[in-house]
Structure 1
Amino acid sequence: MARRIVHQLVDDLDGSVLEVGEGETVLFSLDGTAYEIDLTDQNAAAFREVLAPYVDAARRVSASRSSSTAAPRRRKPSQDYAAVREWAKENGYQVSDRGRVPATVLEAYEAAH
C-alpha cells in the first residue's frame, strides 16, 4: 500500500484552494508584530487597496528599527576576568573580587589590549 501526502495552499481569508502558481504570501507588520497571510491574487489586491491610504500617509521605517531595545551585549566566552580585575585595579578602577565586571571597565580593558 502506498501513502501520498498532499500539501495544499489555502487562502487564509476565504478558504479557497490555491493551485500551483496562484496567489501569494503577503507580509505586513502592525504594532511591532510581523504577519504573513496567504491570499488569492484578488484578495491580495483588495488587501493592498484597503491599506493604500494608510501606507501613503505613513513614514517608511528600516527593518533595523523593529525593536525599541538594543540587543544585550554578549561577553566573550574566553574572557579572563581575573586579568581584567587585576588590570582595572592597577589602572585606578574600583572592581569587586567577584561578580559582574562593569561594562565601562571591560571596554577600557579591551581598548588597552
Structure 2
Amino acid sequence: MAQKVVTVYTDDLTGTESDEVSTHRFSLNGVQYEIDLTPESYDKLDEALRPFIEKGRKTGRVKGTGSTRRAPADGPSAEEVRAWARKNGYEVNDRGRVPREIHTAFEAAH
C-alpha cells in the first residue's frame, strides 16, 4: 500500500491556501508570536507595524530568532582577556568568544 502525504500551506489571517506562505515571528509585551502569512498578508502586517517600528528603539533580538550582541557586562573586555592570555601562553583567537577556561584563569590571576 502506498501512502501520499500532502502539506497544505494556509495563510493564518485569511485562511487562503498558497505555496507562498511563510512563517513570521514578532513579539509584543514580552509575548512571542508566530504567524504564517502570504506575501500580501505580510505586507498588511508590515504596514500596520511600520509607524511603531520606525519610532521605537531596538533592544536586541528575541531569544531564538537569531544572533544578537549583548551589552557589555561589568568586568574586563574580551580584548583585555585576550591580551592577558597571550602574555601567559594561552592560544586565543582574535575574534569570537573567549573560552571559559581562559576567563577562569584570568579571574584567578586577578
Partner of 1:17: 17
| TM-score with structure 1 setting the length | 0.51
Structure 2 unaligned residues grouped into runs of 5+ = 64-103
2:108 corresponds to 1:111: yes
Structure 1 unaligned residues grouped into runs of 5+ = 66-106
CA distance in 2, matches of 1:7, 1:58: 38
Matched residues, number? 67
CA distance in 2, matches of 1:25, 1:56: 22
CA distance in 1, matches of 2:51, 2:4: 46
Deviation (angstroms), 1:24: 2.4
Change (3 A) 1:6 1:64: closer
1:86-105 to 2 correspondences below 5 Å:
none
Q: Deviations over 1:65-84 (max 9, x none)?
A: 8xxxxxxxxxxxxxxxxxxx
2:50 corresponds to 1:52: yes
Large movers: runs of 4+ above 6 Å: none
Task: Select the structure of larger CA radius of gyration.
Answer: 1
Is the contact between residue 12 and residue 37 of structure 2 (CA under 8 Å) also seen in structure 1?
yes
CA distance in 2, matches of 1:49, 1:16: 20
Partner of 2:39: 41
Is the contact between residue 25 and residue 37 of structure 1 (CA under 8 Å) also seen in structure 2?
yes
